[in-house]
Structure 1
Amino acid sequence: MPLIRVLGRAAFISSRTIKPRPLFNAFVSPLFIPQRQLLPHSRTIVTVMSQETKCNANARILPDCWGHRGASARFPENTLVSFEAAARDGAEGFESDVHVSADDVVLMFHDSSLERTTDSTGKIKDRNWYGPQGMEHVRTIREPRQPIPTFTQTIELLMRPENQHIKFNVDVKPYNNPERLFKLMNETIVAQPSWQTVLAPRIILGLWHPKFLKPAKEILPYCRRTNLGGNLAIARKYFWNDVHGFSILFDTLTSSDGQRFIGECQRAGKTLIVWTVNEPAEMMEAMRWGVDAIITDTTNVYLDLRVELQSEHISLFISRSHILTILHCVLLRSFR
């Protein structure tokens, strides 16, 4: 039976499952398949049968939503309240950054220093977490004022029963020491109950520099690895054979080489994530590309858009399946 994919407003025939059928394709393609054919990709599909159509309304047919530093458009970035808000919105994952303090505590923080977003100063690597002057007392400038979360606290959030479906994309900044960071992360991860099945498959390492590849394989072999960046030449040369996927800047993928890279990833079965996408028009474009996840500050905006599009897709398929059923009956009668 023919399998049809939905992305944006277009229905795509999956070439890996269908032999050419000129009459069927002629009927389907003129209005609904754009001139630029999308490559086959493992997304949710809807089955169209000759006598009935079964639509799974609960299936996800559009890219995952991952909160960029949580739901950072509405809450202080890289804080537990921001991560929790992304989860409440319905995001399938969130992204955050890691640094290590002078006393070996892994923190969730973007910058290497504290000034931009907190009421304190100094380099994280030079400051202790514990103690009277420790970073455990630092608070965000933005309201509601929040403490910096540790990696352990974030993992505990992910281990709550209501959050055990959420993916955690860990942005590993290049100035970290790979062995030191990954060993500390591993200690926290393996201390969790049933970590091999409940936690490990949900942790994705975002690696900017090739120096992290070997330590990641040796110390955190159970974590999925992605190359994080905006340089496709570096992605192809240094990361292609050693990562499960790529997390690429949106603007990079709009170029002609970016479009080629999308095709290369889809053919090779590499996961493709795009960041940071906050405008609805850009969200629509990323959906059209067939990426696996969209990283956004505005999780509520993307999720609302996705719900609206999903409902339109189901309605579109129901109406089109009725037409296909009628055509099928006409063809059967014509050959009797």
Structure 2
Amino acid sequence: MHSSSERVLPDCWGHRGASAAFPENTLASFEAAIRDGAEGIESADVHVSSDDVVIMFHDPDLSRTTDSTGAIKDRTWYGENGMEHVRTVKEPKQAIPTFAETITLLMQPENQHVKFNVDSDWETKLAPRLVLGLWHPSFIAAAKESLPYLTRSFIGISPSLARTYFWDHCDFFSMSFAVLATSDGEKFRKECQDAGKKLMVWTVNKPEHMMEAVRWGVDCILTDVTRTWLDMRSALYADYEKTGLQYSRIFLWTTLDYWTPIQMLRQTAHVKRLQSIAGPFTTAATVTVSAAA
């Protein structure tokens, strides 16, 4: 039995920053997560405007979170009607950050401990801190060819997809909490641990779910509430047994979303959606990737 001080508990990564407190994927949200003490920021969310500006944004269009509308790829960044003037609906209202602005934030000396999931300074100070998230296997070969220096991570809800297409090409696996709670998820967790793969879990906002992720032995918890996990982690380091006893596991059996049949249906729908967006998963893609390894 390890003492509290000997345990290694999961890192804290802000999901789109500290997005419970600030608008998601904004500099304010990123800065809040860093101030809270998060070790990383998850924001595998970049799009390119029609005038070739890379921006940090989750959705392909603006309508859900901002006071504007339209597909990002069809909108300009600069100009009278450019997206540089768009603001979030959620208070405090924020501008959409560009990728360049985000990198500038990360390169500030006080922030250089932070990892980010999307010159000599680039090679030594930034590249080792970036994790490239991949959803579809068709992007693996391009990632290896164009960004060979970046750590690659599979992001998804399907252990089967992870095993079949990404296992040999990724060091990190970023999986939904719900799928890791299933029997196949338990098997996948063990496979990652046995193979030395890093396991990240998202999006974990409830303390009882955080405690369960700790019991699983994951390497990183992605959360909207960075302060909640960091405070809980401090309590676990102080007294693991006492803190752990506060959180029941009964939700694993009483929550419909964690039942295997439900997750299988979700995974099937998810794979169909991925294929509709980026094309089918083919054996040819696997051969191409292997040749590029």
Q: Partners of 1:5 and 1:65 in 2: how far apart?
A: 21
Q: Partners of 2:62 and 2:242 in 1: how far apart?
A: 50
Q: Name the residue aligned to 2:48.
A: 100
CA drift of 1:195 comes to: 1.7
Counterparts in 2 of 1:122 and 1:258: CA distance versus 1, 3 Å: same
Pairs within 5 Å for 1:1-336:
5=2, 46=6, 61-96=8-43, 97-170=45-118, 190=119, 194-313=121-240
Which structure is larger by alpha-carbon Rg, 1 or 2? Answer: 1
SS at match of 1:257: helix
Counterparts in 2 of 1:268 and 1:129: CA distance versus 1, 3 Å: same
- Per-residue CA deviations over 1:190-232 (Å, capped at 9, x if unaligned) read 5xx5221211111001110011111111111111001000011
Q: Write out the 4+ residue segments of structure 1 that deviate beyond 3 Å after TM superposition.
A: 313-316
CA drift of 1:312 comes to: 1.3
Q: Name the residue aligned to 1:329.
A: none
Give the length in aligned residue pairs: 242
- Per-residue CA deviations over 1:84-142 (Å, capped at 9, x if unaligned) read 00000000001111111111111110111001110111000111111111111111011
The 10-residue stretch of structure 1 (75-84 or 92-101) with the greater mean CA deviation from structure 2: 92-101
CA drift of 1:61 comes to: 2.0
SS at match of 2:239: helix
TM superposition score normalised by structure 1: 0.69
Q: Partners of 2:66 and 2:131 in 1: how far apart?
A: 27
Counterparts in 2 of 1:315 and 1:145: CA distance versus 1, 3 Å: closer
Q: Partners of 1:261 and 1:292 in 2: how far apart?
A: 14
SS at match of 2:67: coil
Q: Partners of 2:140 and 2:54 in 1: how far apart?
A: 19
Q: Partners of 2:157 and 2:121 in 1: how far apart?
A: 35
Q: Name the residue aligned to 2:271.
A: none
Counterparts in 2 of 1:314 and 1:231: CA distance versus 1, 3 Å: closer
How much identity, in percent, do the aligned residues show?
63
- Per-residue CA deviations over 1:18-46 (Å, capped at 9, x if unaligned) read xxxxxxxxxxxxxxxxxxxxxxxxxxx83
Q: State the Cα RMSD in Å.
A: 1.8
**What residue identity is the alignment partner of 1:290?**
G
Q: Which has the higher strand share?
A: 1
Counterparts in 2 of 1:146 and 1:208: CA distance versus 1, 3 Å: same
Q: Which has the higher helix share?
A: 2
Unpaired runs of at least 5, structure 2: 244-293
Q: Partners of 1:280 and 1:79 in 2: how far apart?
A: 25
CA drift of 1:254 comes to: 0.3
SS at match of 1:152: helix
Q: Name the residue aligned to 1:327.
A: none
CA drift of 1:5 comes to: 4.5
Counterparts in 2 of 1:205 and 1:137: CA distance versus 1, 3 Å: same
